[in-house]
Amino acid sequence: MGMSAQHIRDDLDALAAQFDYFKEAIELAGYPKPRIRDKGYATLLRTIVGQQVSVAAASSIWNKLEVFLGEGCPAEILLSKDFDALRSCGLSRQKQGYARSLAELVVSGELKFDNFPADDEEAIALLTKVKGIGRWSAEIYFLFAEGRSDMWPAGDLAIQESVGKMLRLAERPNDKEIRVIAEDWRPYRGAAAIMAWHIYDVEFDAI
């Protein structure tokens, strides 16, 4: 379960009490809605299916896979199917490799979605053992599916753009710079990230 609306609101209020630019962002755009995904294997498999394709294409592929494999595309059943069968559902060779990596870790018990380490960095390190799941995907999963309130997807270009705008920076900060900026926002960086997506299209007056 991701962060609730009240959780996001409380964390943003804490940030607004310390930083005027968060207060201004809330006044301009209001509070963001929660971003929640189901916890578990199927959510991560859908992430893999959706990589580098449109939302419509990803939905079509997923629907075909569920018809072929069953609801949630169980890991054991996915592993039992051959390349051509999965390709007929729209799953490329590369994505089949990623999907099989995920399914193998689940079946072996090495990856347990109800027992990730409490430490965020340890949890990210474990999830990124899945081929095709990088740090950004892991951070998004833990923020949206587990509601880890200090996740900070610094590599997200929309977040970088919004933070640069909110802070009136001359240029969009890069991954390294935005991690430094957000250190002062601990332990509320998850709400800050959700707010950054929320204000992406909001205009801030120049100083």
Instruction: Say what the pTM is.
Output: 0.89
Element (H, E) at 197: helix 189-198
Give the residues of the chain that fall short of pLDDT 50.
none
CB 188 within 8 A of CB 149: yes
Read off the amino acid at residue 73.
C
Please report the pLDDT score of residue 206 as a whole number. 60
Please report the pLDDT score of residue 1 as a whole number. 77
Residue holding tokens 């072996």?
108
Instruction: Using CA atoms of 80, 82, 88, 91 in order, give the dihedral in degrees to the nearest 10.
Output: 80
Separation of alpha carbons 135 and 125, rounded Å: 8
CB 89 within 8 A of CB 66: no
Separation of alpha carbons 3 and 1, rounded Å: 7
Please report the pLDDT score of residue 205 as a whole number. 76
Please report the pLDDT score of residue 18 as a whole number. 97
